[in-house]
Amino acid sequence: MLSESELTDTCILLLNAGHEASVNGLSAGVLALLRQPEHWKKLVQASGEGDPKPFRTAVEELLRFDTPLPMFERYVLEDLDWNGVSLKMGDQVALIYASGNRDPRRFERADELNLSRDPNPHLTFGLGRHYCLGAPLARLELALSLRALVRHAPILRLADPAALPEYGGGFVIRGLGRLPVRR
C-alpha cells in the first residue's frame, strides 16, 4: 500500500511524464500536418467517420516524424567496449532517438510523413526499463487533442507558411515556442 506522500509523488510523476510529450508532440505534429495539408485533410475526413484508429496511427507517426524528446542521456554503469569505442564507468552517453526514428534501415521512406505507417516501432518513448511511464497517457492525450482540433478547426492553416518555426527548450526536450495559425 502506498503512503499519501508516495501516492502524491506517483501522480505528479505520471502527469509530468505525459505532459511534455503531449504538449510538444501536438504542436510539432500540427506543424508537420499543416506543412503537408493533404495529411490534415485526411484527418478532417476521418474525424467525421467516428473511427479513432486513424488518429492513433497518426499520433505514432507524428511522434516518430518529429519527436518531442529527440535525445536522452544515460551514464555508463561499467567499463565496456561498444563497436570499437571504449566507454568507462561514469561516462555520459547520448541516445539520439530522433536519429533512430529516421533510420532508413528501420523505416521505409523514413524522411516522409506517412500517417498510415503500421507497424511503427519508433523510439520516442525510449525502450526497455527506461521506457516512458507516461507513454500511454501521452498517446491518449495526443489522439484526443488532435481529433478535437481537426473537428473544431478543419480549415486550420499556418499563418505564414514560409516562416521558420521557433523552438524552445533544449536538446533533451524540444518544443515549439509558438505556432501561429489561422482559420
Residues with a known catalytic role: 17, 20, 22, 132, 141
CA distance 56 to 143: 6
CA distance 94 to 103: 17
Amino acid letter, residue 63: L
Q: Are strands 92-96 and 71-75 parallel, antiparallel or unpaired?
A: antiparallel
Check if the beta carbon of residue 168 is closer than 8 Å to that of residue 176: yes
- B/e letters for 134-165, b = 16+ CB within 10 Å, e = fewer, are bbebbbebbbebbbebbeeeeebebeeeeeee
Q: Kindly state the helix (H) or strand (E) to which residue 168 belongs, with its residue range.
A: strand 166-169
CA distance 78 to 135: 29
- Nearest Cα residue to 25 out of 76, 64, 71: 64
Residue indicated by cell numbers 511522434? 63
Q: Between 53-65 and 135-152, two packed helices, what is the crossing angle to 10 degrees?
A: 110
